[in-house]
Structure 1
């Protein structure tokens, strides 16, 4: 099952079938997701926010230091997807349908059914109409997301004219300080659609912030795109 100098390990079932490392890894991942969702369900909402309050405060101070050092300069963290079997309109329709948070139960279900499973470090929605508490650059961050306010021209300059659907957002810290921008683009292809998912962070942020948030985007959007496809093929 695993090997290294001086060590080896094999695992098998009573019927004699050997289990591969990837099989046991998949079982571990399934169990980890189930255990994490259980904890998130028990702590959903204000209990989670209370638990993370000190870390959120520390994160705010850290992120403000990055903003100050950046002197208004930004740099992107980005991943691209090519999806088959689902169009851009079908994905956006799914996301509008699941984003139904008019009631406390709607908020709870949106978090537990959509946000919590999409990434292990989606901790809570936060006290805003649109927002999330998650890990960014190894620090806990509570951001308020505004998808109505116009983003600066330099954000749109990251765009690709071949992508016809553009979803820009501005993301703020608790006190209203602009922390980063999101600029997602989608275009249809012959057999599906392409996604270009980017977050534009203060340029003085350490490289690990850009690298790990690319990992974050890859995990969460893979989950959402797959869920949108799955909702059409139940």
Structure 2
């Protein structure tokens, strides 16, 4: 072995460690599903101190930004799944707390039954934040695609901290999803970039599950 060569590990006969990564990801998902399922609402209480810090952090950025915001957008593609099928599946999925919690490791609370609006606790940037999603404002965009837009308000004092928007479009390969997040300008670009990464994980989880449950992926 040459001195200075970086260490690596792989299964004998394979060219890299991608399969080990897959196995680790599957194990991590099983572990989180078990832990989150057993903790239930207690998980929210466990991160209460972190939520207070995170909400204060973004409230300060709202003040410092003076109304200026920054938006980041991510486009992801799904094969073997139509936009129509996914949109219909998502409407049903938003009544299934287990599906919503499991989609992203940093989903700590996804209470869609709250009469004041969906109550979510997740990570924004480097902070755990509690917020409520407003009702989806729907508008038509070119190509006949419905874009849905929702304001995010901090759950402790109602400060508008930003917004998210989604649009799903049919494509030859299946569908594309355009996902956007808007946050106070002084918290960008780190928080915006982190949440685009967050989007990629949760929407891939939902799209793969939608394809499996609708049978579209097997056609």
Asked if the contact 1:172/1:178 (under 8 Å) is kept, the reply is yes
Question: Matched residues in 2 for 1:86 and 1:166: separation?
Answer: 18
Question: Matched residues in 2 for 1:19 and 1:27: separation?
Answer: 16
Question: Matched residues in 1 for 2:59 and 2:35: separation?
Answer: 30
Q: What is the TM-score with the length of structure 1 in the denominator?
A: 0.80
Where does residue 26 of structure 1 map in the other structure?
22
Question: Matched residues in 1 for 2:94 and 2:24: separation?
Answer: 30
Where does residue 107 of structure 1 map in the other structure?
none
Tell me by how many angstroms 1:181 deviates: 0.8
Q: How many residues align?
A: 211
Please tell me whether residue 5 in structure 1 is matched to residue 4 in structure 2: yes
Q: What is the TM-score with the length of structure 2 in the denominator?
A: 0.85
CA root-mean-square deviation: 2.5
Question: Matched residues in 1 for 2:45 and 2:206: separation?
Answer: 28
- CA distance change for structure 1 residues 4 and 56 in 2, over 3 Å: closer, same or farther? farther
Question: Matched residues in 1 for 2:46 and 2:101: separation?
Answer: 17
Question: Matched residues in 1 for 2:72 and 2:45: separation?
Answer: 30
Question: Matched residues in 1 for 2:141 and 2:20: separation?
Answer: 41
Tell me by how many angstroms 1:83 deviates: 2.3
- CA distance change for structure 1 residues 19 and 147 in 2, over 3 Å: closer, same or farther? same
- Of 73, 80, 96, which aligns to 2:75? 80
Please tell me whether residue 119 in structure 1 is matched to residue 104 in structure 2: yes
Q: Which runs of 5+ in 2 are unaligned?
A: none
Where does residue 225 of structure 1 map in the other structure?
207
